Amino acid sequence: MRFLDDTTVQDFLADDSPRLLVFGSATDLSSQVFGRQLAEFEQETEGAVAVGLIDIDKAPLTATEWGVRPANLPVQVFFKNGILQRVLLGVRSSQGIVAELAEYLKIS
């Protein structure tokens, strides 16, 4: 996982490999709990998907640009070939994330 801010998010998204951009907050309990599932997701996909974490309190410009509000956290945005494919809201298990993105990753 890579921690991003307002100055690094564009570089993270510029790559064409699969990317999961995750908006959360260190002060949001759901976001804190979700970190474990994201780590398990990275293990399950064997690093096939780069995960970038954005703390909306530390990257307010990016959060505003994407329309992310504290009430919606955590928000996951999946990109493949630089194109937005899916937006997921809320906490999911690592298997739940894999299931949601399996059609894009060709995994089960």
C-alpha to C-alpha distance for 89 and 107, rounded to whole angstroms: 21
Which residue is it, tokens 């992310």? 68
Domain-wise residue ranges, the chain: 2-99
- Topology of the domain covering 2-99: Glutaredoxin (3.40.30)
Instruction: Provide CB contacts within 8 A for 47, sequence distance 6+.
Output: none
Average pLDDT value for residue range 12-16: 91
Across the chain, what does the average pLDDT equal?
91
Enter the pTM of the model: 0.91
pLDDT at 24: 95
pLDDT interval class at 101 (50, 70, 90):
very high
| 23-59 tens-digit pLDDT | 999 999 899 889 889 999 988 888 889 999 999 999 9
More confident residue, 13 or 108: 13
